[in-house]
Structure 1
């Protein structure tokens, strides 16, 4: 069995037509047919049901295709790794991050990294904390910038910094002329919060519980921009990290004196997984920014 036979099989399985597959592979149709026949003889089972000039993947073929696609992807990944080993300053790094972090200093870090290593491409994903953990475990992301995780048995997590959270209220709110408040002073206020599954929602619920109340969430958002716009419109208050672009005439940021409202931000990756040289490069760069 040869690697080329597997690639031919995958293309025929995708088109279910020998002529179209042969054109896509730039080989003759008889040569393609012989290759598939030899593959079936090696395996001892037919992979396709022949229907006139067309073919249809049968149960054997469908089962084998899953393994072939996985094997060919491994080969492709291996070739990419070898290329990066030859030149570690090339390749692609997939990075996922919590949505509230993406609006703060991540853009500055990415810009600095791109200036130093212009040949390394960054593939970015914004997601919830729960989804980020799954991406790391499934290998969809090399690294993630996220709050502390509960999956320490499967993931490594390196703390980068502590980030303060602030109460944001409409500019005409009864507390808007203050510089700081106790969180309990927002008890009974309508809250603009994040959807369940987001790390910021868990933090809001936890800090409000410490202050002796449960937030009355009237709207659940997915990003800081939406939450802040709704607060500035007078719908409610919120508890979020500091963000750029605030309009003092519409929204006011208040420091929380009690309880101490802050979150940990760290860099996470899959435990035991060998990162590509490019991903190792980015990991060292990010950690170095907070050393």
Structure 2
């Protein structure tokens, strides 16, 4: 059974006349008759009641037509979707990204990309680093925008930028008027930390370890805005990327002079998986942007 046979059948079922159907399909009437006859032989039933040159669906034909129309419509949609994917300017891109990138970096990327390629649809998945990597390995997303991670032979990670991390303290903190501090000076402070399992938790712990202490985590949160909000309430200090969502009357940003606190942000993709033209376009755009 071939797709062409099913299309021929649908046309004859609608027009109910072989000659007129053949003219519409731009084939000879005998060729059309042979195609329908072969289809009926494969199914083991007749599909039409024939009256002279006119034909009409019988009960088998009416039942079969419903399924054929559904099937052909699905195929047509599939072809349209493939054509969209083939066109990098009208396709889809799925991107997993770190929760902490949703404030500044990601909006900047999406905004700039949309200005140049407004018809590309981008699906966003905010997640932890490990979960984003798993989404990539499961082929649930095309790309990941994440910090550096333990090397995986199946994944390429391309560094994009080095993002400085800052100390944030309540406005009435003893260091609030300073422009920079040495991290070891915070060894006795309460910290507002990221929850265990989030990549930033390990990053901050490593910098504190370099400074000679283990941070005393008083409260935990999952995103930058939550941590900053807790700091502004006077509940502790934190180390996060630059954040501008709270008035400087309540929270102060301070550079850390020693050790230099930062993280690398990059874009990741599967090595042996061919990206769609749209995803490849987005990857190239992001790499060139940085």
TM-score, length basis structure 2: 0.73
Aligned residues: 230
Aligned to 1:194: 194
Aligned to 2:179: 179
Aligned to 1:84: 85
Q: Deviation per CA, 1:144-170, whole angstroms, max 9, x where unpaired?
A: 111012143121100001011001010
Are the equivalent residues in 1 in contact too, given 2:136–2:144 (CA < 8 A)?
A: yes
Partner secondary structure for residue 90 of structure 1: coil
Partner secondary structure for residue 269 of structure 2: strand
Q: Residue 245 of structure 1: CA displacement? A: 2.6
Q: Residue 29 of structure 1: CA displacement? A: 11
The alpha-carbon distance between structure 1 residues 145 and 28, as it changes in their structure 2 partners (threshold 3 A), is farther
Distance (Å, rounded) in 2 between the aligned partners of 1:76 and 1:136? 26
Distance (Å, rounded) in 1 between the aligned partners of 2:61 and 2:98? 50
Aligned to 1:105: 105
Distance (Å, rounded) in 1 between the aligned partners of 2:143 and 2:79? 19
Distance (Å, rounded) in 1 between the aligned partners of 2:94 and 2:2? 31
Distance (Å, rounded) in 2 between the aligned partners of 1:226 and 1:285? 31
Distance (Å, rounded) in 1 between the aligned partners of 2:281 and 2:139? 18
Q: How do 1:1-291 residues align onto structure 2 when only pairs under 5 Å count?
A: 31=63, 80-85=81-86, 87-290=87-290
Are the equivalent residues in 2 in contact too, given 1:104–1:244 (CA < 8 A)?
A: no
Distance (Å, rounded) in 2 between the aligned partners of 1:190 and 1:235? 7
Distance (Å, rounded) in 1 between the aligned partners of 2:249 and 2:168? 13
Are the equivalent residues in 2 in contact too, given 1:191–1:216 (CA < 8 A)?
A: yes
- Which residues of structure 1 form unaligned runs of 5+? 4-26, 36-72
Partner secondary structure for residue 134 of structure 1: helix
Partner secondary structure for residue 153 of structure 1: coil
The alpha-carbon distance between structure 1 residues 77 and 181, as it changes in their structure 2 partners (threshold 3 A), is farther
The alpha-carbon distance between structure 1 residues 76 and 212, as it changes in their structure 2 partners (threshold 3 A), is farther
- Which residues of structure 2 form unaligned runs of 5+? 4-58, 68-73
The alpha-carbon distance between structure 1 residues 81 and 247, as it changes in their structure 2 partners (threshold 3 A), is same
The alpha-carbon distance between structure 1 residues 214 and 115, as it changes in their structure 2 partners (threshold 3 A), is same
Q: Residue 84 of structure 1: CA displacement? A: 2.2
The alpha-carbon distance between structure 1 residues 93 and 169, as it changes in their structure 2 partners (threshold 3 A), is same
Are the equivalent residues in 2 in contact too, given 1:170–1:231 (CA < 8 A)?
A: yes
The alpha-carbon distance between structure 1 residues 30 and 263, as it changes in their structure 2 partners (threshold 3 A), is same
RMSD: 2.8
Q: Based on CA coordinates, which of the two structures has the bigger radius of gyration?
A: 2
Q: Deviation per CA, 1:244-286, whole angstroms, max 9, x where unpaired?
A: 2341110011100111111100011112110000000100110
Distance (Å, rounded) in 1 between the aligned partners of 2:190 and 2:61? 68
Partner secondary structure for residue 254 of structure 1: strand
Distance (Å, rounded) in 1 between the aligned partners of 2:197 and 2:184? 24
Distance (Å, rounded) in 1 between the aligned partners of 2:256 and 2:163? 13
The alpha-carbon distance between structure 1 residues 2 and 193, as it changes in their structure 2 partners (threshold 3 A), is farther
TM-score, length basis structure 1: 0.72
Q: Residue 131 of structure 1: CA displacement? A: 0.6
Moved over 2 A (4+): 27-32, 75-84
